[in-house]
Chains A and B, each alone.
Chain A
Amino acid sequence: MKKLTLAAIVGLGLMSGSALAASAWTGGDDLPTSPLACDGTPAAAVAKPYDGGVPTNPPDRKGKKITVVDVPKLIGIGYFNATSKGIAGAAAELGNVDAKTDGPTKANIDEQITFIDNYITSGVDGILFAANDPVAIAPVLKKALEKGINVVGYDANSTPDARQWFVNQAQFNGIAKSLVDNMAKEAGEDAGVAIVTSTFTTPNQARWIAEMAAYAAQCHPKMKWLETVEAQEDNNLSFNQATTLINKYGDDLKGIFGMTSVATPASAEAVTQAGKCGKIAVVGLATPNAMKPYVEKDCVKSVVLWNPVDLGYAAMQVLRAVADGTLQPGATSVKAGKLGDLQVINGSEILLGSPYTFTKENIGQFDF
């Protein structure tokens, strides 16, 4: 039984050993960062040749009425209801597009392929998609291109040569800027902040944290990073970790970044249950539905993500521009109706723009 005590001591020894290896903003990766300008000037596009696909002998669709089908990952959930709403809105605004959304009720790649295949056979002019699998969806999309159909992706990409363009909802540096700017605004320029993430090695989260550290160093140099804790994608663990951070730092902690859609609501819950609403700001990535209780109680002021309605709207505008021939390989921007000019990045992707911040004023309009 002494062994148990021994084990605990050994364990504690190991712990204090690794505590010495702390560095700035733990949880970020070592890849190069590209922080955006503090005032939001878009970064200069890195020239990269067009790497999208090309439809075979498409008919001249310029200004003509076209039929478009949108096949998202799945239908019937709030998120894709919102993109579908954006697509329908753009189609109505354009006036010369007949658009509809159809797809599997489960996020199943086989069913998604069948849907797309059937619409190719039935003869459509354009296909919009959000891929359940980037590689598996490629053959059926290439088949569509071979039939002269215009193909544009959004939300979830395919391999580039299987579609013409992809509307990218958010870049790492854009998300990072939005998170850090909102935190500085709510918690103060010299706030002590902590991060609740999934794991230190989860690729997206590690990228965001690295970009956040780089952007904060440049634009909010007084922001004091205290600690990053891991909480996997576990609700209760996230809550316990956030609660412990609050207990540990007391009044030195002014803000918590939630890096996942699980960590952000759980951190907000921890702040609520600790009675620290208004004293500790929670800014994070999350879906509106999970955050509504906290936003409505004024405990959380900004939830960062992108606007799926705008995403669908942009995808439809891009498809129309491709069909009209106004968006050609090599272009650096595209006109997307009320969203204005959107930037071309990475050869054949179109950036939706700055991330969207959900606030008390607008969160009620979203259901996903």
Chain B
Amino acid sequence: MSGAAFSPGRSNLQRFLSGYGQEIVVLLSIAALFAVVGAVNPRFLSDTNINSIFAGNAYIAIAAIGMSMIIMAGHIDVSVGALIGVIATIAGTLAVKGYPIWMAWSVPIIFAIAVNAAVGTLVAYTRIPSIVVTLGMLSILKGGLISATQGEWITNMPAEFMIAQMRPFGIPSAVWFMVALTIIAALFLRYTDFGRSIYAVGGNMEAARAAGINPERTVIGVFALHGLFAGIAGILFATQLQVIQSTVPPNLELTIITASVIGGVSILGGTGTVIGSTLAAILFACIGSALIFLNVSAYWLRAVLGLMILATVLADMVRRRRDK
């Protein structure tokens, strides 16, 4: 089964390179960008700019952790961008209405887990493809958000609510969250039964069932976990700026899915790591910043990401054929 990329006993360098190849490519791309753009304009390497690069896309990296698990399990979620918008609005509304801050942080996360557990249940038991279920959810969330807010922005949030603007030890808290959650998720996927069952279900559902795994429960669990990460991402998104827009950033779900795919998660399910998706999210922020430093329209970012997706998927196909 394809989840075997992480089975024990593969320890030599070649195995390591084939297991983490994509992560290494992304890491080298980041290093190359820093070297090239830093040579053109040394201000690119200033600590403030490096801070902006790491903090700017931290919420995307965190959402991509959950998305990577979904894709590893053989599914997809196109509603995550709308969900993040709804979470931000709920959190901001609670904070402005004077509810305790811990509630403004936790209630939306619980909401996100509940919504995604429901989506997971539908996907697992009705066998409706996840792209269809989440497309439906996308419309519900987006439409609901616009009717509920009437397009009004949320402002005047209390200062202690703004968790993403806090800087423990001089580093933005969003970066701390990104690093900590990536490590926890990577360990979880590698060393827990549930983590490994995600790869198994994504690799071959019937084989996983034969091996004693309950695929339905695994799918529901993965969606709920994805809800947790989306919830945390939504809170960081909500507290990054002083205003919460009533609309979600266009194409946010695509950016998140792209981070997972470029980070090495196979779109066919069964393989990938969350370290890769986090590195890919950082790479995007790097490219976005580099485009301005090199005086290039931000629209190239989309084109470059598109090229990278194609190249990554192609490389994945080639690797699979070669491994057979």
Contacts and interface: CB of A to CB of B under 8 A. Distances in A.
Contact of B242 (A8, A249, A293): A293
B295 A19 contact: yes
B180 interface: no
A248 B43 contact: yes
Contact of A269 (B242, B297, B314, B315): B242
Given A236-B240, A247-B43, A247-B49, A290 B300 contact: no
Interface stretch (A38-46, A84-92, A224-232, A358-366): A224-232
Report the contact-size class of chain A (Cβ under 8 Å from the partner): 35 or more
A316 B242 CA distance: 36
Contact of A266 (B33, B56, B150, B241): B241
Contacts of A234: 249-250
A6 B43 CA distance: 26
Interface string B33-64: 10010000101101011001000100000000
Contact of B308 (A7, A16, A229, A265): A7
Contact of B298 (A1, A235, A241): A241
A273 interface: yes
Contacts of B288: 240, 244
B48 A274 contact: yes
Nearest to B292: A244
Contacts of A232: 250
Nearest to B241: A269
B206 interface: no
B297 A200 contact: yes
Interface in A289-304: 289-290, 292-294
A47 interface: no
Nearest to A232: B250
Contacts of B287: 11
Interface in B80-136: none
B296 interface: yes
B27 to A, nearest CB: 11
Interface of B is mostly: helix
Nearest to A18: B296
B184 interface: no
A247 B287 CA distance: 15
A309 interface: no
Interface in A212-271: 227, 229-237, 239-241, 243-250, 262, 265-266, 269
Contacts of B299: 230
A243 B52 contact: yes
A3 B292 contact: no
A286 to B, nearest CB: 10
A248 B29 CA distance: 21
B314 A3 contact: yes
A112 B298 CA distance: 39
A1 B21 CA distance: 8
A239 B245 CA distance: 13
Interface of A is mostly: helix
A229 B295 CA distance: 9
Interface residues of B, number: 58
A5 B29 contact: yes
A325 to B, nearest CB: 40
A230 B298 CA distance: 6
A262 B240 CA distance: 15
Given A239-B240, A247-B48, A248-B43, A16 B294 contact: yes
Given A1-B25, A229-B298, A293-B155, A245 B242 contact: no
B142 to A, nearest CB: 15
B48 A11 contact: no
B95 to A, nearest CB: 14
B46 A11 contact: no
Contact of B32 (A8, A236, A289): A8
Given A15-B296, A15-B300, A237-B249, A250 B242 contact: no
Nearest to B304: A11
A248 B41 contact: yes
A296 B249 CA distance: 27
A8 B308 contact: yes
A4 B152 contact: no
B292 A229 contact: yes
Contacts of B304: 7-8, 11
Q: Specify which of A7, A230, A249, A293 lies most central, judged by the most chain B CB atoms within 10 Å of its CB.
A: A7
Q: Specify which of B36, B152, B153 lies most central, judged by the most chain A CB atoms within 10 Å of its CB.
A: B153
Contacts of A293: 155-156, 242
Interface string A1-39: 101111110111011101100100000000000000000
A293 B153 CA distance: 13
Nearest to B49: A247
B311 interface: yes
Contacts of B315: 1, 3-4
A77 interface: yes
A12 B241 CA distance: 30
Nearest to A3: B311
Given A10-B307, A230-B299, A290-B153, 9 more contacts: A5-B28, A8-B32, A11-B304, A14-B300, A18-B300, A19-B294, A19-B296, A248-B49, A265-B242
Q: Top 8 nearest A-B pairs by Cβ distance?
A: A247-B49, A11-B304, A3-B311, A15-B296, A7-B307, A7-B311, A19-B295, A244-B292
19 contacts: A1-B21, A1-B22, A5-B25, A5-B29, A8-B304, A11-B303, A14-B303, A15-B300, A22-B295, A77-B152, A229-B298, A230-B298, A230-B299, A231-B298, A244-B292, A247-B48, A247-B49, A248-B293, A249-B43
